[in-house]
Amino acid sequence: MKIFYQFFLLFSLLNISCGVYSFRGNNPPEGIKTIAVPLFNDISGFAEARLKENFTDKLKSIIISDNTFLITDKSKADGVLNCTVVSVKDDPLVISGNDNVTKRKITISVRVDFQNMKKQKQIWERTYENWGEYDSSNNTFSARETGVTTSLDKICEDILNDITSNW
């Protein structure tokens, strides 16, 4: 009978300890329900006409579609994401015969400062870097824009993951 109680106790402890930890998809910082996303700064020197506007619009759109935070202006927001495009590199990726570059890689780096406006303190500051590739054999501007958009999408997803998970 004593062995039965020991087994039961061990079994109960194992079941209880397994149920304590769980993954929670959206766990934003406490007290942050509204976020402001001011226009990105751009210190990269990259000659892309609407880079900072496209980044800002994409980040706002992805935050709205996630439905964890409400977007508002800076004066009413609980949190603010101050973002700066730090660098944009356009490097050859695939070189074919006769030294022709057929694919290129755009790498964008963005610094993000997440501020808690209620407590007037920084939640975190991080730098995000991601890339997109494009076909450079036809030398069109729209091809390069494809690489920029891919990189932009990846970075915005990474930012959203970090602001919605409080790990």
Residues 52-74 pLDDT 10s = 999 999 999 999 999 999 999 99
Residue at 20 is within a domain: no
Query: Which has more pLDDT, 153 or 19?
Result: 153
Domain that holds residue 160: 29-164
The average pLDDT across 130-144 equals 84
Confidence of residue 24 (pLDDT cuts 50, 70, 90): very low
Residue 89's nearest CA partner among 38, 130, 136 is 130
What mean pLDDT value characterizes the chain? 86
pLDDT at 47: 80
Residue at 2 is within a domain: no
Residue at 17 is within a domain: no
Confidence of residue 7 (pLDDT cuts 50, 70, 90): low
Residue 126 belongs to a domain with what CATH number? 3.40.50.10610
Residue at 36 is within a domain: yes
Could you tell me the pTM of the whole model? 0.80
The DSSP 8-state label assigned to residue 142 in this structure reads H
In terms of DSSP bridges, do strands 41-42 and 79-96 run parallel, antiparallel, or are they unpaired?
A: parallel
- Asked if 134 and 106 touch (Cβ cutoff 8 Å), the reply is yes
Residue at 55 is within a domain: yes
> What are the tens digits of pLDDT across the range 42-54?
999 998 889 999 9
Tokens of residue 45, six digits: 């020197």
Confidence of residue 124 (pLDDT cuts 50, 70, 90): very high
Number of domain units in the chain:
1
Residue at 12 is within a domain: no
CB under 8 Å to 7, separation ≥6 — which residues?
A: none
Integer Cα distance of 66 and 62 in angstroms: 6
Confidence of residue 23 (pLDDT cuts 50, 70, 90): very low
CB under 8 Å to 45, separation ≥6 — which residues?
A: none
Residue at 97 is within a domain: yes
- Asked if 159 and 128 touch (Cβ cutoff 8 Å), the reply is yes
Residue at 8 is within a domain: no
